[in-house]
Structure 1
Amino acid sequence: MQGQFLTHTGQVRKHNEDSGGIFYNSSGQLLAVIADGMGGHQAGDVASQMATRLMKEKWEDSNELASPDEVEKWLSESITSINNSVYEHALNHEECYGMGTTIVGVACIKDFTTIAHIGDSRCYLLNDGGFKQVTEDHSFVNALVQSGEISKDDAQYHPRKNVVLKALGTENHLEPDIRTVCLEQGNKLLLCSDGLTDKVNDDELQEFLQVDDVQETGNRMIDLANERGGEDNISLVLLYHDLPGKEGDS
C-alpha cells in the first residue's frame, strides 16, 4: 500500500485547522485519518489535532485485526470514545467551547478497507467500477439533495454549503457512519477535507488519480485548489493499493 498525507493552509487563512496522517499498528496495518476542525479562535486546531492524536495512539496500541467485523467494532468504539474526550475538553476549557471536527478514518486490511466518518470530510474510491464517493456528507446541503429540494450541482453553489449537521465533539454521544468495501489490485483511495472538494470537482479528482505517483498527484490537487482561491485549508490522504508492477509499502 502506497500512502501520502498532505496538508496546506490555503491562500486566505492564517491557521491550519485541518489535521491528519497515516499510522501503523503493531502488525503493520494501516490507518489513515483526515480531520477538519471548527470553532472560535484556534479551537478548531485543538479539536482536529486532538482527534488525530487519539486515533493514532489507539491504533498504534491495537493488535492485528483480521475481519471486517473486528475493524468496524474498533473504529466505532474508538471514535465514540474520542468524541467523548473532545466534548469533555470543550466543556472544561472555556476557550474551546463549541469546538468540533469532522473526521474520516480508513483502515486498510489486506483485501478490504473499512471507512468511518462524521461530518463532510470525504472518502472516494477508484476501482474497476469507476470513481465514487463512499461517504455521505453530514451537511445541510446534502440533506437538501437527499430530499430532492436541490440538485447535486446546485449544492456546489449553495450559500450554506459549508454548514455541517454532525461533527465529532459537539455532542455527548455521537456514532460514526461505517462501511466496509473490497479492495483489489490497483484500487485507489482519496480522503480529503472540503477545502479540496469545494474547489475541485469529482471528474477532476478522478483525472488526477490516473497518475500513479502519490506525491505528484497530491501536490497537483492542492495546487489547483489554491489556484481557484484556496479560501479554506486543504488536506488529503492518497492510498494506492498494490499497484501492478510496483512494490507497495505495508
Structure 2
Amino acid sequence: MNLGYKSHIGKVRTVNQDAYFVLDNPNSNIKVFAVADGLGGHNAGEVASNMLIEKISDTFNQSILINGVVNQDIVIEKIKSVNREIFEKGIQNEHLNKMGTTLSLTVIVNEIIYIFHVGDSRTYIVNQKEILQLTKDHSLVEQLVMQGEISRQEAENHPNKNVLTRAIGTDQEIEIDFYKYAVKKSDKILLCTDGLTNLLNTEEIKEIINNNNCKDAVEELIDKANEYGGFDNITAIVYEPEVSL
C-alpha cells in the first residue's frame, strides 16, 4: 500500500475537529492531500476545518496546471477566498465567533511537491536517512525559537505551545506559506495534525514510517499517540509517490 490515511478523535476530546482530504485518482497525474485542525469552542473548530476542506476539494483538476506545473496563484486565491467565507460566517454566528483552522495542503505533480500551509499542522518528508519538516509552524513558540528566546527543546514543553500566530478564518485576510520540493526515490510524505506531533518525537515517527507500509504506518502512528494519552484529535496521511529515479 503506497497510501494510508486516518483521523481519530483521540481519548479526551468529545468532538473531532480535524478534517482531511485525499485525491489519489490513478487516472490523474495530480495527487492532493490535506489536513486541517479546527479551533474554537461550541464545535466551531469542526465547522471551520470541514468547511475549508469541502470548499478547496473542488479546486483540483487539470485547470490548476500550466505546462504540467501547478499554478500556485489559483490555489492561493481559492484558500484566501475560503478564509474570508469562514471569517464572515464566524462574525454572523456568535457560536462560531473566532473559529479558525490550520491547513497543510500538498499537491504532487510530476515528482514535485507543492505545499500550501497555514498554522501548526505539518508536512514531512521521511526516508531511511532522515525526517525533514518541510513546513514552518505559525505558533508563538516557533516565533520565540526563531528569535532565539527559547531553545527547540524548551519549545517542546512550553505552556503556550498551542498558541497560533496565524490560522485560516480568524482574520479577514491571510498570508499563505508556499513551498516546493522535489521528491526522490524511497521518500514518503507525511501530513499530520499536532495531535500526533505533540506526543511522538520525530525519531519515533521516522522509525514507524520506515518500518511499515503507508497504511500500517498510519495505524501505528495513531495507536501510539493514543497510547501516550490521546489528548487531542489525531490525523495522519502517509503517501509514497512513484518516483523514477
Instruction: Output the TM-score relative to the length of structure 1.
Output: 0.91
Rounded Cα–Cα distance in structure 2 between residues aligned with 1:14 and 1:5: 21
Aligned ranges for residues 54-65 of structure 1 at < 5 Å? 54-59=55-60, 63=63, 65=65
Percentage identity across aligned positions? 35
Query: Deviations along 1:137-191, whole A, 9 cap, x unmatched?
Result: 0001111111111111111111110111100001111021001000122211101
Rounded Cα–Cα distance in structure 2 between residues aligned with 1:89 and 1:194: 25
Query: Deviations along 1:69-119, whole A, 9 cap, x unmatched?
Result: 634223211211111111111112221111000000000101101011100
Rounded Cα–Cα distance in structure 1 between residues aligned with 2:102 and 2:133: 16
Query: Does the Cα contact within 8 Å between 2:2 and 2:215 map onto a contact in 1?
Result: no
Query: Does the Cα contact within 8 Å between 1:68 and 1:114 map onto a contact in 2?
Result: no
Rounded Cα–Cα distance in structure 2 between residues aligned with 1:219 and 1:91: 38
**2:241 alignment partner in structure 1:** 241
Rounded Cα–Cα distance in structure 2 between residues aligned with 1:111 and 1:128: 19
Report the Cα offset of residue 33 of structure 1.
0.6
Aligned ranges for residues 194-205 of structure 1 at < 5 Å? 194-205=194-205
Query: Does the Cα contact within 8 Å between 1:66 and 1:109 map onto a contact in 2?
Result: no
Q: 1:128 to 1:208 in 2, by over 3 A?
A: closer
1:76 matched to 2:76? The reply is yes
Report the Cα offset of residue 201 of structure 1.
0.5
Instruction: Output the TM-score relative to the length of structure 2.
Output: 0.92
Report the Cα offset of residue 66 of structure 1.
4.8
**1:172 alignment partner in structure 2:** 172
SS at match of 1:63: helix
Report the Cα offset of residue 64 of structure 1.
5.5
1:188 matched to 2:200? The reply is no
Structure 1 runs of 4+ off > 6 angstroms? none
Q: 1:68 to 1:176 in 2, by over 3 A?
A: farther
**1:18 alignment partner in structure 2:** 18
Counterpart AA for 1:93:
N
SS at match of 2:88: helix
Query: Does the Cα contact within 8 Å between 2:124 and 2:190 map onto a contact in 1?
Result: yes
Counterpart AA for 1:121:
S
**1:53 alignment partner in structure 2:** 54
SS at match of 2:105: strand
Counterpart AA for 2:9:
T
SS at match of 2:173: coil
Q: How many residues align?
A: 243
**1:103 alignment partner in structure 2:** 103
Q: 1:2 to 1:35 in 2, by over 3 A?
A: same
Q: 1:212 to 1:223 in 2, by over 3 A?
A: closer
Rounded Cα–Cα distance in structure 2 between residues aligned with 1:71 and 1:229: 41
**2:30 alignment partner in structure 1:** 29
SS at match of 2:70: helix
**2:228 alignment partner in structure 1:** 228
Rounded Cα–Cα distance in structure 2 between residues aligned with 1:234 and 1:50: 18
Rounded Cα–Cα distance in structure 1 between residues aligned with 2:209 and 2:171: 36
**1:248 alignment partner in structure 2:** none
Counterpart AA for 1:221:
L
Counterpart AA for 1:123:
T
Query: Does the Cα contact within 8 Å between 1:87 and 1:171 map onto a contact in 2?
Result: yes
Report the Cα offset of residue 4 of structure 1.
2.3
